[in-house]
A and B are shown apart, each in its own frame.
Chain A
Amino acid sequence: MSTVIAMQPKLEIVASAAPPAETQAPAAATTTPEPVAAPVANSRLFAYSRAFLRFLIPPLLGLALFIGIWAIVSQSSPQLPGPVKTWESAVTLFSHPFYRNGPNDQGIGWNILNSLGRVGIGFGMAALIGIPMGFLVGRFKFLNDMTAPIISLLRPVSPLAWLPIGLLVFKAANPAAIWVIFISSIWPMIINTAVGVTRVPEDYMNVAKVLKLSEWKIFSKILFPAVLPYMLTGIRLSIGVAWLVIVAAEMLTGGVGIGFWVWDEWNNLNVAHIIIAIFVVGIVGLLLEQVLITIAKRFSYE
């Protein structure tokens, strides 16, 4: 997940490095003995397309290198399907994403939607409990001191360690998977929200004190907007964790879902589908992250 964040500044640098291209453009213009106006327009178009290419080339080159290595590796190991074979397999797979042949054989679309549904429920409940809890923990030192040892004890626990507890309590696979999502995605939201509350600038709280605002006004006009960027960071981390964990949880619990699908295809020895699943998980995770980054940008005030 963090690679996406790290990538963006790099892209900006690439984009901002482009303008020098314009200084080279007149040299290109002198080679054509046209009237003055046309080469200027031409060279500008030239500069823009160069900037665009400079923006696109590095990531494309990276992808090409990745696929190249993959192709070479697949040559020497016959069990691993190469890029072409995987692509063909993916085209067949995605041409019927929503078929249903009984409970254990459903289209890739259903598998993705089922996984997203579990993540949505588990993550939603975690947000519903974690965010208000974060506000309380951040606002009242007593609560913070009370919960700090529990949070620091439970947070580093591997999410899958919670699965047996879930199975024991809910006596069913699906709620147990949701429970694992819930418990592993709640911590970043509690912690980030609480940190956000403690970082609300003293000046804003002084305004609240001078105006003697009610607790509700303090919350709605000062605390909530001030904490929102921190909260959204927590949500982003949480959803990353949730999406990371769902594949592993579903491998263990079964049912319909992308994680179970991976396991099923492993049992069928259909490696191309496993590789496709890896890409699908990556792309869906990337999209979730991008959506939240877009939301976060909308709510940053500095």
Chain B
Amino acid sequence: MEKYVQIENVNMVFDTQKGPFVALQNVNLNVAQGEFITLIGHSGCGKSTLLNLVAGLLKTDNGVLLCAGREIAGPGPDRGVVFQNHSLLPWLTCFENVHLAVERVFGAKEDKAQLKQRTLDALALVGLTHAEHKRPQEISGGMKQRVGIARALAMEPKVLLMDEPFGALDALTRAHLQDELMKIAANTHSTVIMVTHDVDEAVLLSDRIVMLTNGPSATIGEILTVDLPRPRERLALAENPHYHHLRGQVLEFLYHRQLRPAA
């Protein structure tokens, strides 16, 4: 299997006041180019930690992290990140927020007109051409998250990293954005690693679901291959017995084998 993103024997230890805290232990994962991976697990299991390690926002001395054959030494625009709470700069318009990323990645090679076109293309991809001059506080939560996705995609990253991107949205908006994300990922052949705590979202979107055991010392408990044919259709899947079988397997892992003691 092709190894586009390689995670080998990765441990992550945080120094806390109470002494070292082992968040992740012995994590091994290979992601192929164009693959859609979701990380799922109970809260506190270190799924965001793992994502931040790939993003380069966290560093570890233990284990090897590679992206496209190169060691991940720090954050960089080759790994676009969609943050949980959109992280748009409130003093910039939607256009300027995306343009900041475009300018950084392509500014050296392309002229102003090309940069502008890239920005507009990215906004059009998420259906927000009409909101280009709006500031983040003037648009809805779903639209903000779409600008966040546009910003990450506009950099043409090798890997798209998403940290519970739809967690703060209402169910209908979330479903709508999931459908859009599936289309965008298919059209752009993006490699995606996404953290989620939503079982339906994981089964609907993923090629493989990586299930993490409970922390501390969390590790990969099981990897489930979702062999549902694409393009997937939400309504059709609702009556698909195999979909329910896969969903059941994730639920079984989360609530039977990794059930948290009542907190």
Contacts and interface: CB of A to CB of B under 8 A. Distances in A.
Genuine A/B complex: yes
Interface of A: 203-204, 206-207, 209-213, 217, 221-222, 225, 301-302
Counting chain A CB atoms within 10 Å of each CB, which of B77, B81, B91, B137 scores highest? B91
A301 B138 CA distance: 11
Nearest to B102: A211
Contact of A211 (B56, B90, B91, B100): B100
B117 interface: no
Contact of A203 (B76, B79, B85, B92): B85
A210 to B, nearest CB: 5
Contacts of A221: 89, 92, 100
B87 A204 contact: yes
A44 to B, nearest CB: 31
Interface residues of B, number: 24
Interface centre among A203, A204, A217 (most CB of B within 10 A): A203
B133 interface: no
A207 B89 contact: yes
Contacts of B76: 210, 212
Given A206-B81, A207-B89, A210-B77, A302 B137 contact: yes
Contact of A212 (B75, B80, B135): B75
Interface in B38-89: 55-57, 74-77, 79-81, 83, 85, 87, 89
B90 A302 contact: yes
B77 A211 contact: yes
B101 interface: yes
B79 A210 contact: yes
B104 interface: yes
A208 to B, nearest CB: 9
B104 A209 contact: no
Contact of B137 (A210, A217, A222, A301): A301
B75 A209 contact: yes
A81 B90 CA distance: 55
Contacts of B104: 211-213, 217
A204 B77 contact: no
B88 to A, nearest CB: 8
A210 B55 contact: yes
Interface in B122-177: 135, 137, 155
Contacts of A209: 56-57, 74-75
B149 to A, nearest CB: 14
Contacts of A203: 83, 85, 87
A212 B107 CA distance: 13
Interface in B96-121: 100-101, 104-105
Contacts of A212: 75-77, 104
A10 B100 CA distance: 42
A206 B148 CA distance: 13
Given A206-B83, A211-B155, A221-B89, 17 more contacts: A203-B83, A203-B85, A204-B89, A207-B83, A210-B77, A211-B100, A211-B105, A212-B75, A212-B76, A212-B77, A217-B100, A221-B92, A225-B89, A301-B90, A301-B91, A301-B137, A302-B137
**A-B residue pairs, 5 tightest by C-beta:** A203-B87, A301-B90, A225-B91, A209-B75, A210-B75
6 contacts: A206-B75, A206-B81, A206-B87, A210-B55, A217-B104, A301-B91
B2 to A, nearest CB: 25
Given A301-B137, A302-B137, A222 B83 contact: no
A185 B173 CA distance: 50
Given A210-B57, A212-B104, A222 B75 contact: no
